[in-house]
Amino acid sequence: MPVEKISASRLKILAYDLRQMRQARNEADYRLSESKINANVAKEAILTAQHFFKRIS
C-alpha cells in the first residue's frame, strides 16, 4: 500500500475539520426531532462534504 507524505500542519487542519464535522453531526443527532431538514440544509451539507473531500485529495 503506497504511503502519502502529508505535512504535520496539513494533518492538523484535516483533524480540526473532521472534529468540527463530527461535532456538527452529533449535535444534529441530538436535535433530530426538533429540526426540520429542507433543501437548503441538505445542499449545504453536500457542499461541505464535497469541499472537505476536495481538500484531502
In the chain, the amino acid numbered 42 is A
Q: Which pLDDT belongs to residue 40?
A: 87
Query: Which pLDDT belongs to residue 55?
Result: 81
Check: CB of residue 28 under 8 Å from CB of residue 35: yes
From first to last of the 57 residues of the chain, give the pLDDT tens digit.
Answer: 677 788 899 889 889 988 988 888 888 777 766 767 788 888 888 898 898 888 877
CA distance linking residue 11 with residue 19, whole number of Å: 12
Which residues does 14 contact at the CB level (< 8 Å), separation at least 6? 6, 55, 56
Read off the pTM: 0.50
CA dihedral over 57, 10, 49, 28, signed as positive or negative: positive
